[in-house]
Amino acid sequence: MALVLAVALPAAYAIVRNLNRTVRSMFNVFLLGLAVPAQAVIVPIYLIITRLQMYDTLLAIVLPTAAFSLPIAIVVLTSTLRDIPNELYEAMTVDGATAARVFGRLVLPLSRPGLVSVGIFVGLGAWNGFLFPLVLTQSDEQRVLTLGLWNFQSQFGTNVPGLMAAVVLSALPVLALYLFGRRHLLSGLAAGFGK
């Protein structure tokens, strides 16, 4: 989640503030990334991960998960940054602020609702991810929560009480994340409706 937010916000800022055709065409590439499901490219991802000798590591799960979360994060953050009035950018530029200062003092605080919304969405996707951990890891040391829950299922039945207890325990961190970011999530989802 942190990796996606650290890459998506500067990319969205560059897309919104730059009038260069190359940057605009990169935005179209990110839009194209929304059309490619992970299931369609799992075999090439597996081959790349094994050739990079990252198979059965947590990095093998983190990198593809972040890559498939980037397009939606950039689209949401781009629309969030487009809602910031140009007058604010111009005022800071007239005051002598550099692009980095504008980013840190203006863009970062005003994009907080969008960041929280994207963070919760990406966090839930990563938390519930099943395909990448299933295909790109095999040892018990690298097993993530979704694969651990899957282990409650056996050939002849399912340990239902154990599975339900594990599901409740696995939902607690996500519930805490939601409660922490609830106010920003609602304001981020409602952004643009008051105009």
pLDDT mean values, one per 10 residues, the chain (195 residues): 94 88 86 89 95 94 94 92 88 88 90 88 89 90 82 70 84 82 64 45
CA pair distance 57, 161, nearest whole angstrom? 31
pLDDT of residue 154: 67
pLDDT of residue 57: 93
DSSP three-state, residue 193: coil
Per-residue 3-state assignment (H helix, E strand, C coil) for 136-174: HCCCHHHCCHHHHHHCCECCCCECHHHHHHHHHHHHHHH
Per the listing, tokens 């980013």 go with 103
Question: Which residues, 6 or more positions from 106, have their beta carbon under 8 angstroms from its beta carbon?
Answer: 84, 88, 89, 92
Name the pTM for this structure.
0.81
Q: Which of 87, 72, 77 is nearest to 111 (CA)?
A: 77
Angle between helices 58-82 and 112-127 (to 10 degrees): 150
pLDDT of residue 191: 52
CB 56 within 8 A of CB 138: yes
Taking 3-state DSSP, the helix, strand and coil percentages for the chain, each rounded to the nearest 5, stand at 75, 0, 20
CB 192 within 8 A of CB 83: yes
CA pair distance 10, 104, nearest whole angstrom? 10
